[in-house]
Structure 1
Amino acid sequence: MDRAQQLSEFLKTRRARLRPDDTGVGGFGGRRRVPGLRREELALLAGVSVDYYTRLEQGRARNVSPDIVDAVSRALRLDADERAHFHNLARPSRPRRRPARPQQVGPEMRQALQALDSVPAYLVGRRLDILAWNDLARALIADFPALPPAERNMARLVFLDESAKDLYPDWEGKARDTVSTLRVDAGRHPDDPQLAALVGELTLASEDFGRLWADHTVRGRTRGRKRFSHPRLGELALDYVAMRAPDDPDLTMMIYSAPPGSDAADGLRLLAGLAAPYPVPA
């Protein structure tokens, strides 16, 4: 994906959500043809020239300093995830010397995953590829072993598998989270051809994906609650944590659990009884 285009579209969408009344900038007058702040107003708030901000928003600025990124971030009122994404996009491009190696899951991580025998857990890598899972995750989310390896991807499951809308009662929320995570990946790895191909495939195949991708929402959630609708157990409201591997920032373990004594905890115990052991691929 083109880093300059990503940067341009990101800044435009962030600027469009601001209002002059919210920022105290209103001295440029005139009828507004588009929502949000004008470039002149944003440049004033950031303390940079209009010409420089214009070049930055058009993806034509070179060697953007971290101080400039921080100043524009403050003017745009970016949160921590958005600011990190902006820094990633503003970094100078470096030519890739060799293709990225496929991600590997070491035996220690697989062992830890299988030791979690009372809660659903899985490992997700770059591009939201599902790399490994335990029996409860297979019983709750999808029969991962039955899927071709190329289809073991959370974004494909959410947007291309119709059963996802039955699995997630708040499918729109799950879809937004999925796209925003892919946006984080796109900022970290803008030159990843497999990510570009995935985004292209989903854009063509899913109108919902195209709509959400155009929002440029960036969010790296590490905890929260997700509702599932299991065909045999009914609805389960589970808490999740996302734990990033210390030696691989692109590898995350997702773990779902429930408060002791809750209906969801009872549901997980029943789910464990339904989850027949299945060998995880080496």
Structure 2
Amino acid sequence: MYLVKRPKFTGFYFIFAMLVLTSCAKQTLSPQTFSDSTEVQSLQVIRSVDSLKAVEPEKSSLVEPVTDSKNILDELSFTYLKAKSKVSWKSDKNTDNYTVDIRAKKDSIIWMNISVSMISGANGLFTKEKVQFYDKINDKYLSWSYDSLSTMLGFKVDFGIIQSLIIGNEPFKKNNSRVIRENENFIIQQEEGKVKIDNFVGPNRKLKKLLMKEDASENKMQLDFEDFSQINQSLFPFSSQITLDVKNKENELKKTIISIKYSKVELLETPLAFPFKVPEKYLKNK
């Protein structure tokens, strides 16, 4: 008799937490299915999945302030997005690989279906209020609020940052940003509480790197975007890498690298369904 092991999504629990910069707080939740309806129109780009590579570090150069910062950044515009990707998570002790299907409604909902070894068994849902994760195979449910995440890490985390991880848009829109020019690149410098934020914009007017750092804690998150292809008159980053340096409970700085490689991206006008239901037993005594 052969025993088949259930696929474990433990690594992806960690990825999920790190994507929203870590937490284990449970929130009240109701079963729900999201959907909309309108006319169909779609644009898609299909790519082969190959190896992931890190973005080269910036070379030192002369910089100068920019007085007219309008139209520096070309952001991806969409109503609905549907994508297939490979996600790799690596820490000092473990490495895990996942296939992730993504659906999104701009500035509203992000839904994920996570598979391991071609077995689909976990769903995640990001809304503007909270983050939810349900592993159907191992019967585990997790939920986070953005407030709890922000408090734990010491700086603001919200839906906009998560959306930026996926599509490569600037997560913080600030009127008092400082913009400098570095050769053919631009750097948009911002502050969010105690966190310093640098947005690096390339010659193609796309965000190629985002660096968030809190000096007091030394916690740091860096997003690198590359392998841009044109979709609907705009460029989409088919490769991205998230590098997290975050202190653990023992005050040790730990590095985690999450790499994302897209094989297919569609920009849609037709509504998508975002099926996500929580078993009744998790709703009791909430």
TM > 0.5 between the two? no
| Greater percentage in strand | 2
Look at both structures and tell me which one has the larger radius of gyration over its CA atoms. 1
| Greater percentage in helix | 1
Tell me which interval the TM-score lies in, with the shorter structure as reference length.
under 0.3
In the superposition, the TM-score normalised over structure 2's length comes to: 0.27
Higher relative contact order (CA 8 A, sep 6+): 2
